[in-house]
Amino acid sequence: MENPARIALVPPPDRRQSETALAIARGTARLLRSLGFSCISELPLPSGRRADLVALNERGEIWIVEIKSSVEDLRADQKWHEYRAHCDRLFFAFTQDLPCEIFPEGTGLIIADAYGAHMHCEAPEHKIAAATRKQMTVRFGMAAALRINRLVDPQGHADFWE
């Protein structure tokens, strides 16, 4: 009998995310779905970084959402600047306990909890190049397909579990 604990829709947790960060991601994903986007969590980017949430809609727009669970989390993060090159809009998502003023200008703000979220401030649009859009769309599709394939045939993807 196969081990059901090994089957997951998302990559195995790397234990870096706090319960707060996971709750923010869940609520933010719900908001993005209500806006017509599909989301992938922890998507590796061409730069080698990994985005917390990447969202894609039917028009091909790509949004990246960086999850911040505390002021310390934001202060320690210097990599978010690199995400702009891979999306049309860049957002920060956080709990209502954090002040909006601490977040960088020129980014959107989403306030979230485990049950939902709301857009506090829209992100400015900065269209990415066609080649980057294609590369990100292919990454998004491949990641989504691999995650579904792991559900359908976990034994056929045993190499990906290690």
Whole-prediction pTM: 0.85
Spell out the SS3 assignment of the chain.
CCCHHHCCCCCCCCCCCCHHHHHHHHHHHHHHHHCCEEEEEEEECCCCCEEEEEEEECCCCEEEEEECCCHHHHHHCCCHHHHHHHCCEEEEEECCCCCHHHCCCCCEEEEEECCEEEEEECCCCCCCCHHHHHHHHHHHHHHHHHHHHHHHCHHHHHHHCC
Q: How confident is the model at residue 159 (pLDDT cuts 50, 70, 90)?
A: low
Please state which of the four CATH numbers 1.10.1200, 1.10.287, 3.40.1350, 3.30.750 is assigned to the domain occupying 19-152: 3.40.1350
Where along the chain do its domains lie?
19-152
Instruction: Give pLDDT tens digits for 11-50.
Output: 555 556 788 999 999 999 999 999 999 999 999 998 889 9
pLDDT tens for 107-142 read 999 999 999 999 999 999 999 999 999 999 999 999
